[in-house]
Amino acid sequence: MPIISSPQEFNVEDLYVDLDAVLGIPVHLKCEGFNFTGSVKQKAAVAMVEAAEEAGELTPGSILVESSSGNLGVALSIIAASKGYGFVCVTDSRCNLASKRLMEAFGAVVHTITEPAREGGFLAARIAHVRAMCDEDERYVWLNQYVNQANWKAHHRHTAPAVARAHPGLDVLFVGAGTTGTLMGCARWFKEHRPGVRVVAVDSVGSVAFGHPPEPRMIPGLGTGVRPQLLDESFVDDVVMVPEPDTIRMCHRLAARGFLFGGSTGTVVSGAARWLAEHTGGERIEAVALAPDLGERYLDTVYHANWAQGIYGPDVLDDAPVPQNSLS
């Protein structure tokens, strides 16, 4: 039986949901939310903290600071508590209240940015705030997930090989795009070791990562207002852009079958379903999609009918089963 002494030592790598049996979508969904930090971001958080320690940047008395829309912040708050560091998460008004409360429960301080920057939106404003904090106090150590090479290397070392071991006949892998750490780690590994596997990035409409125009986005996780510095499109075979209403509907479809996943997962599954319908022509292929987290942190947003209808219009859930308790 597993016995651990720190929360970051436990991560589930071999759990998949067969979406063909659940929704008729021929994809195995890799569940990354069953660890003590609750998301795929645990791997990058551990790798970045350990790299900073090895480099001598983190020392007793250091205070970690990072910009995050939620999941990385939660992961870092847990790791910081385990290792004895302070932690400040700089987020924005789209961050789920549950994520903020989780971080605070582990002793983190949460700064919420309420005004987007004219260029680069909330992300640019968050980064500017982090820079100002670091300039004012030398105790702050910014891991900077947006350029940190340990971000993508964590998934190159762990996530991609785990997928390959479980699916030796894999044809296509769907990965959501945020900072693109997960995407680039997986894409680089498969191009090096299994170049016949197609890696498809799934992004949110309104994100500028792949050169599309910026638009307002309300669901944290995927998408960005600033082009990711880690992104190298030469490793990506295709890109699918998913409107947020499709994300909402897919999350509710999954929940109606007993699977409560986060907003990013709804986006990835929706993008995978569309890509497969357009590219396979009925041919049977082996496909995997990465589910970054579970859905408990989204109960007041994605899974709350009043919130979803207030943001996206009264008909946003017309094509999705809605559990009765979400109508209150």
* Residue 171: CATH number of its domain: 3.40.50.1100
Q: Is residue 149 part of a domain?
A: no
pLDDT for residue 44 is more than 90 = yes
**Domains in the chain, number:** 2
CA torsion, ordered 85, 262, 184, 30, to nearest 10 deg: 110
CB-neighbour burial class of residue 161 (10 A; exposed 0-12, middle 13-18, buried 19+): middle
288 and 179 fall within a common domain? yes
Long-range contacts of 160-167 (CB under 8 A, 24+ apart): 160/185, 160/186, 160/188, 160/189, 160/190, 161/189, 162/13, 162/14, 162/30, 163/30, 163/288, 163/290, 164/189, 164/190, 164/193, 164/194, 166/14, 166/16, 166/288, 167/28, 167/286, 167/288
pLDDT at 263: 96
239 and 314 fall within a common domain? yes
160 and 293 fall within a common domain? yes
pLDDT at 280: 86
Q: Is residue 148 part of a domain?
A: no
CB within 8 A of 41, min separation 6: which ones? 71, 72, 74, 75, 292
Q: For a pLDDT cut of 70, what percent of the chain falls above it?
A: 97
Domain endpoint, select from 96, 119, 142: 142
pLDDT for residue 325 is more than 80 = no
User: Which of 56-60, 92-96, 280-284 bottoms out in mean pLDDT, i.e. has the lowest?
Assistant: 280-284
227 and 137 fall within a common domain? no
pLDDT at 1: 79
- Mean pLDDT, rounded, for 208-212: 95
49 and 64 fall within a common domain? yes
33 and 54 fall within a common domain? no
pLDDT at 319: 72
pLDDT at 302: 96
Range of the domain at 101: 41-142
Q: pLDDT tens, 139-184?
A: 999 999 999 999 999 999 999 999 999 999 999 999 999 999 999 9
pLDDT at 328: 37
Q: Is residue 71 part of a domain?
A: yes
DSSP 8-state class, residue 293: B
CB-based burial, 165-204: b 16+ in 10 Å, e otherwise: eebeebebbbbbbbbbbbbbbbbbbbeeebeebbbbbbbb
**CA 290 to CA 201: how far, in whole Å?**
11
- Assess contact for 264 and 176: CB atoms under 8 A: yes
- Mean pLDDT, rounded, for 42-59: 96
49 and 34 fall within a common domain? no
Q: Is residue 147 part of a domain?
A: no
171 and 306 fall within a common domain? yes
255 and 109 fall within a common domain? no
179 and 129 fall within a common domain? no
277 and 168 fall within a common domain? yes
pLDDT for residue 324 is more than 80 = no
299 and 163 fall within a common domain? yes
Q: Is residue 2 part of a domain?
A: no
Q: pLDDT tens, 33-42?
A: 999 999 999 9
pLDDT at 321: 60
Q: Letter for the amino acid at 285?
A: I
Domain endpoint, select from 142, 175, 198: 142
- Mean pLDDT, rounded, for 102-129: 94
CB-neighbour burial class of residue 327 (10 A; exposed 0-12, middle 13-18, buried 19+): exposed
Taking residue 313's Cβ as centre, other Cβ atoms within 10 Å add up to: 11
Q: Is residue 298 part of a domain?
A: yes
Report, in angstroms and rounded to the nearest whole number, the Rg of the chain calculated over CA atoms.
Answer: 19
Sheet containing strand 86-92, strands side by side: 109-113, 86-92, 63-67, 140-142
Domain endpoint, select from 142, 169, 199: 142
Structure tokens that stand for 210 in this block: 């792949």
CB within 8 A of 314, min separation 6: which ones? none
